[in-house]
């Protein structure tokens, strides 16, 4: 009659450690009680122990399932958090590289700006010198070319430090004046002017300019004639009564009123 006892002991040996204490409280049935089937109290305690074992096994299984789910969720979160950390590190590294590149470009631009400022100072000095010499040259020009250049020359500043014109515009003004002067110097041109005579009276004259070298004038009435040449503060005009015939012939040739011919003209040289 020991077979039931042995079966119970076999089952105890495979129970989880958490339920062993519950079964350890079961009394060991005496040999004579086991043979007789045991008392009703002992059977009730055995059933209660089995019920506790089943509930404990279910609790353990549920806790194991919940633990596995929590473990999988935690691992997923760890993976996601690790990926996000790596992405943020990559963003930070990219931002730092961008900042470094921006700083490098900014430093390059600052250095370039400094070089341009230094070059601008040199250009300002050069252009200011051109303007000063151009103003000096304007005083030596005859009235016709000075009148022609007024729209440009009024923009040439007396004081370069007080002008609002940029360097490009100032340089173009100087070039424009020099181009017009060069053009006038390469031409033989005729102009009508008012000339003051030595006695203080004025006379309307025709003036023929041979560039910027010399000019000859003839009164409209043919009663006066003379020669002009550039001076430090403008042109100097000298009346020459004996040159009226020659200058009259010159004006006639310039106007195509007579054929071209050699004309003996007075030449004034300082």
| Residue 205 β-bridge partners | 193, 219
Q: Are residues 198 and 239 in the same domain?
A: yes
Q: Are residues 174 and 198 in the same domain?
A: no
**Interacting residues of 188 by C-beta distance below 8 A, sequence separation 6+:** 208, 209, 210, 211, 254
Indicate whether 58 belongs to any domain.
no
For 115-143, the DSSP string reads HHHHHHHHHHHHHHHHHHHHHHHHHTS-H
* pLDDT given at position 78: 85
User: Cα(50)–Cα(96) distance, rounded to whole angstroms?
Assistant: 67
> Is residue 112 over pLDDT 70?
yes
Among 33-42, 47-56, 57-66, 105-114, the minimum mean pLDDT is found in 33-42
Give residue-wise pLDDT tens across range 192-228.
Answer: 999 988 888 899 999 999 999 999 999 998 889 999 9
Tally of CB atoms within 10 A around 208 = 21
Q: Which domain holds residue 235?
A: 190-254
The residue behind tokens 């004046």 is 177
Indicate whether 73 belongs to any domain.
no
Indicate whether 13 belongs to any domain.
no
* Number of domain units in the chain: 2
> Is residue 5 over pLDDT 60?
no
Indicate whether 147 belongs to any domain.
yes
């Amino acid at each position: 009659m020991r077979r039931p006892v042995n079966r119970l002991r076999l089952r105890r040996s495979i129970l989880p450690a958490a339920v062993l204490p519950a079964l350890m409280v079961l009394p060991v049935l005496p040999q004579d009680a086991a043979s007789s089937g045991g008392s009703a109290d002992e059977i009730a305690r055995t059933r209660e122990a089995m019920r506790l074992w089943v509930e404990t096994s279910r609790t353990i299984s549920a806790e194991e399932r919940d633990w596995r789910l929590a473990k999988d969720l935690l691992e997923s979160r760890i993976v996601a958090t690790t990926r996000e950390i790596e992405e943020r590190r990559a963003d930070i590294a990219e931002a730092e590289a961008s900042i470094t590149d921006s700083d490098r470009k900014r430093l390059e631009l600052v250095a370039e700006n400094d070089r341009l400022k230094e070059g601008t100072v040199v250009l300002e000095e050069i252009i200011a010198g051109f303007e000063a010499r151009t103003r000096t040259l304007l005083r030596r020009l005859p009235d016709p070319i000075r009148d022609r250049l007024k729209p440009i020359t009024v923009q040439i500043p007396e004081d370069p430090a007080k002008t609002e014109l940029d360097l490009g515009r100032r340089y173009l003004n100087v070039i424009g004046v020099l181009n017009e002067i060069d053009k006038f110097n390469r031409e033989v041109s005729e102009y009508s002017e008012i000339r003051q005579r030595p006695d203080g009276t004025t006379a309307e004259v025709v003036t023929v300019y041979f560039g910027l070298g010399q000019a000859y004038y003839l009164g409209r009435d043919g009663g006066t004639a003379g020669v002009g040449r550039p001076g430090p503060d403008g042109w100097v005009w000298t009346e020459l009564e004996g040159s009226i015939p020659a200058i009259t012939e010159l004006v006639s040739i310039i106007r195509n009123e007579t054929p071209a011919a050699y004309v003996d003209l007075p030449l004034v040289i300082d």
